[in-house]
Amino acid sequence: MKVVETRADLAAARAALPGTVAVVLTMGALHAGHEALLRAARAGAQSVIATIFVNPLQFGPNEDFDRYPRTREADLEMCRRAGVDLVFAPDRDEIYPGGEPQVRVSPGPLGELLEGASRPGFFHGVLTVVLKLFHLTRPDLAFFGEKDYQQLTLIRRMVLDVNLPIDVRGVPTVREADGLALSSRNRYLTEAERVAALRLSGALRAGAAAAVRGADADGALAAAHQVFADGTTGVQLDYLVLLDPDLGPPPGHGPARMLVAAKVGGTRLIDNMPIDLG
């Protein structure tokens, strides 16, 4: 496995990669969910690139950029274990050589809803760095986790709208045995907060179970909301919605997606789950 830190070294190493090339874009602090992405990329392409870059553009002024976990050596070991060929781990100046970018990618109307409403400018920062890294790594395929479902949806839309020849593939969310979705921010949770955080996946499962019993969209959503009805201490619900798979209005029947976000203690968590209505 080769590790490079500059755009010039990346270009030279990328030119030497054979066959189809897959990329997994990360901010480091890798866990088993990232490993699933890396292994999916390894199975789907002849060469695999991973990027490690904590992107300042997607953090708000009161968010956790400075304390976001940096675990470079452990991250590189996971990449080796998963069979990555090339790791690009640049610093801020390498990605933003002109300083704060004057031109950013607009995520459109969807980017101002849900996560975009709660974290203004978030998806502008995400799509800007993703587009930059796509240009630098020139992949044939890109693998993203379904846990960040709105992000995945917007990246697919960006690739379509700007005519990038990249096949964007989603990988199902990896969960702990008790249902908690894996996240680099889970390490912030105290023991009590971790128990409280199970309300997110519990709400999604309740909504999915109601749909299996024949509930419509309103019924499935009501069942999910009931999990938060007792006002669990330390959990502040941001949103809990049921939409179609492209995050438009919920369908009358068929595939749908339920998404939830909540602040647990001082940590903001998100989760989602596919649901089949009717």
Instruction: Return the active site residues.
Output: 34
What count of residues does the chain have?
Answer: 278
Using only C-alpha atoms, what is the Rg of the chain? 19
What tokens does 93 get? 């100046």
Write the CA distances from 158 to 40, 73, 142, 270, integer angstroms.
Answer: 22, 32, 13, 22
Integer Cα distance of 31 and 117 in angstroms: 27
72 sits in the region (left: phi over 0; alpha: psi -120 to 50; else beta) called alpha
Determine the residue type at 17.
Answer: L
Contact 140, 69 (CB under 8 A): no
DSSP 46-86: SEEEEEE---GGGS-TTSSTTTS---HHHHHHHHHHHT-SE
Write the CA distances from 51 to 90, 161, 162, 171, 174, integer angstroms.
Answer: 8, 23, 22, 17, 20
- Residues annotated as binding site for beta-alanine? 58
Comparing C-alpha atoms, which of 58, 134, 54, 130 is closest to residue 92? Answer: 54
- Residues annotated as binding site? 27-34, 58, 145-148, 151, 174, 182-185
Contact 139, 27 (CB under 8 A): no
- Residues annotated as binding site for (R)-pantoate? 58, 151
